[in-house]
Structure 1
């Protein structure tokens, strides 16, 4: 579960990415958002009319519940409109999704970005085995539904088998996009007016293991920045701390265009629970990764994915995760209460009561809110580079939300602002 989730860390909400001839409801991570935009363009080019595309997520049971609810609502509110379902949940259990009211087709994850899959006359076909997928094609997406930053997919799939996670069964094996295609995509979004690019995938730290020469993520990012010197800001989505390569560490230390913000897929802070999750790092490795990043890039902001209420988690285990927030200097948390995923090893372990999972998740989110507040207060009086997503709101290089007071800019503008106040939801600033 390394693909970056929604910024608020809650269950994956539906995002209405478009209206008109093809309506899109996208659930889950940034990669799903990117793919939903690409699929909408494919469906429009194929001539779909009144179609409703639902891109599902399988990370939690709540994400699946929301997608099913959205499909039933769409069937009621738009009778006769063909509903096309895809995404990780649909890949894992296609028959169940095909049986929902109004669903005309289910398209597998390996096929959903192929133009031929969107031919209106194409008959419904069985969803192929995603484990047979071997290629990740680059898809030219230059419009991101009013966003100020562009996502570029560089990797797909996952070769690891964390005991809580079904995503490998929805995404298939790890596949990487060659550098040339990434460079072309980045140049295209810059020409479209974007000033920041986010490299995204399911497990981007595994980038390159399937390519000739096995170029790691850091080498790819370094070459990308060299080949596209006009790119002002580059950001990375979630990283597995066990797979950080030396090129990436050097880039973090030396390249100002790589944003001073890392989001780590930590998942827990107790060694026993990490072992039962089948993570590839322990508590010491997580702390070492965080401290090395902060030493190389003073002032760096760190975020993390954390799961509360994993099977067999004791209060002492949970206390170690709470302590990790402060010890590792984490500022932004994506917190998930553990959710059983059918067929996973963790679902067969002794389970904690759902009420206890939710209670611990709430305590962890409260610790995250305190950590974010400390980070915001430390920025008082600082001058920040801000990418505006609306005339008066945007995010800093550290991905801290910021609102301008007494002045405004324009969507997509990069400007300098001095922080004048900090609140629980971010920074207030004046144009410098």
Structure 2
């Protein structure tokens, strides 16, 4: 790609939210790098600051606006060349864009989730026309293929397989910000993963708002999500396949069998339950019951007894009674999760749940949240203790963030492992004997 700059400007991307956003940021970094921009290690060093926003929960909104506000002094000062860009899910909501224009008029570039690939052009327009750029598409067009990405790790990569969501859970803003489901063609995904394998990638994580509703229409006909997994498992060099996130209503027996029969498919699944109460699940429009969810867990563990299962749980959904919450605690006990992401219900403007009159008081939400965290942390600690004395194959990510002189990596079951090592081990898959554990990680010794 032709460089558009006479001198390199430095950019920094701050990412809020999910793995989809993380990968979107990698793509933006790849596009800008190809255009001659350089990546800065901090916002302070950057000429261009980009915020990739998340709209899932209110605290992400507050964190974004708080961080954005910190740049006003610099933007209004002597740094005439300083550029501020905002993109992502929040920008697909008109009331957020209106707030941005009213209270943060010094922002230079605003775009949404559907025109991510336009970032280099928007920056070029800004610099050549000396005019602020606001371009938000209400819906996605054709999927743009072969966009470059600048990965955080050389040995593993995210791979988008689909975009959008058709589920319309009553609390969730994603269908409104990411649009309807659109699946990539299987041959395009295979092409990308083959390219990643040639570049040294050993582990891929397949991404989508609901990956197991993937329906790819390719040259050889229709391919479902499990078909795609088997296609990718045939690619030399790829040793591990992960995916997220999945919806319980679409988890098929065919996919469950793949955990048993496909050696490259990691023995880990993130299966959001959100609530253990049938009444609340119906109000959430989740389209399954607690009994159906527990049956899925039974089938998964029957197929792979040691499979690791994580989840998402929302506390304080409108109308949630103490009995409803007790059902959630009971389900968490029954499943025995390896880990759980627990959240206080957050009103999202434009969703059906936001209009509910029976909102739960904050103090009750927090009290229930603390009780739930105690249960899931106890379960996580117990699961991790069961790894002591076992030898696990660990894909090494690099130097540990928690202890000097150690490396960290992940087991097949996505367990974080710390052990003595050096940076040269990054990207290797090595045997580690687990010697200790805590609630969130394992410790071990190389064999």
Preserved contact between residue 149 and residue 197 of structure 1 (Cα < 8 Å): yes
Distance 1:147 1:30, change over 3 A: farther
Residue number among 125, 150, 156 corresponding to 1:149 in the alignment: 156
Residue number among 192, 199, 203 corresponding to 1:185 in the alignment: 192
Residue number among 262, 280, 283 corresponding to 1:273 in the alignment: 280
Q: Which residue does 2:107 correspond to in 1?
A: 103
Residue number among 385, 405, 419 corresponding to 2:393 in the alignment: 385
Distance 1:204 1:98, change over 3 A: farther
What is the Cα deviation at residue 142 of structure 1?
5.0
Rounded to whole Å, the distance in 2 between the matches of 1:112 and 1:407 is: 37
Q: Which residue does 2:226 correspond to in 1?
A: 218
Highest relative contact order (Cα 8 Å, sep 6+), 1 or 2? 1
TM-score where L is the length of structure 1: 0.89
Distance 1:314 1:231, change over 3 A: same
Larger deviation, residues 70-79 vs 158-167 = 70-79
Q: Which residue does 1:82 correspond to in 2?
A: 83
Rounded to whole Å, the distance in 1 between the matches of 2:149 and 2:34 is: 15
Larger deviation, residues 304-313 vs 114-123 = 114-123
1:21 aligns with 2:10: yes
Q: Which residue does 1:10 correspond to in 2?
A: none
Rounded to whole Å, the distance in 2 between the matches of 1:211 and 1:279 is: 30
SS in 2 for 1:274: helix
1:358 aligns with 2:373: no
What is the Cα deviation at residue 148 of structure 1?
4.9
Preserved contact between residue 47 and residue 120 of structure 1 (Cα < 8 Å): no
Q: Which residue does 1:38 correspond to in 2?
A: 27
Correspondences of 1:195-210 after superposition (within 5 Å): 195-208=202-215
1:398 aligns with 2:405: no
What is the Cα deviation at residue 214 of structure 1?
4.1
Preserved contact between residue 312 and residue 341 of structure 2 (Cα < 8 Å): yes
Preserved contact between residue 179 and residue 224 of structure 1 (Cα < 8 Å): no
Deviations 1:351-404 (A, max 9, x none): 001222122222222211111111111111111011112241111111111111
Distance 1:318 1:209, change over 3 A: farther
Rounded to whole Å, the distance in 1 between the matches of 2:186 and 2:435 is: 41
SS in 2 for 1:389: strand
Distance 1:406 1:186, change over 3 A: closer
Q: Which residue does 1:256 correspond to in 2?
A: 263
TM-score where L is the length of structure 2: 0.86
Correspondences of 1:341-352 after superposition (within 5 Å): 341-349=348-356, 350-352=358-360
Question: How many residues are aligned here?
Answer: 411
Q: Which residue does 1:71 correspond to in 2?
A: 68
Q: Which has the larger radius of gyration?
A: 2
Larger deviation, residues 352-361 vs 308-317 = 352-361
Preserved contact between residue 304 and residue 334 of structure 1 (Cα < 8 Å): yes
Deviations 1:34-58 (A, max 9, x none): 0011112223444568211110000
SS in 2 for 1:285: helix
Rounded to whole Å, the distance in 2 between the matches of 1:128 and 1:388 is: 40
Q: Which residue does 1:428 correspond to in 2?
A: 443
Deviations 1:199-226 (A, max 9, x none): 0112212211677844211111111212
Residue number among 113, 130, 136 corresponding to 1:127 in the alignment: 136
Preserved contact between residue 269 and residue 321 of structure 1 (Cα < 8 Å): yes
Preserved contact between residue 72 and residue 101 of structure 1 (Cα < 8 Å): no
Which structure 1 segments of 5+ residues have no match?
1-18
1:112 aligns with 2:116: yes
Q: CA RMSD in A?
A: 2.2
Preserved contact between residue 261 and residue 397 of structure 1 (Cα < 8 Å): yes
Distance 1:41 1:283, change over 3 A: same
Rounded to whole Å, the distance in 1 between the matches of 2:196 and 2:370 is: 38
Distance 1:39 1:328, change over 3 A: same
Preserved contact between residue 163 and residue 345 of structure 1 (Cα < 8 Å): yes
Rounded to whole Å, the distance in 2 between the matches of 1:90 and 1:240 is: 25
Residue number among 288, 297, 300 corresponding to 1:290 in the alignment: 297
Q: Which residue does 2:52 correspond to in 1?
A: 55
Q: Which residue does 1:8 correspond to in 2?
A: none
Rounded to whole Å, the distance in 2 between the matches of 1:108 and 1:36 is: 13
Deviations 1:265-284 (A, max 9, x none): 21111000000001011101
Q: Which residue does 1:5 correspond to in 2?
A: none
Preserved contact between residue 31 and residue 149 of structure 2 (Cα < 8 Å): no
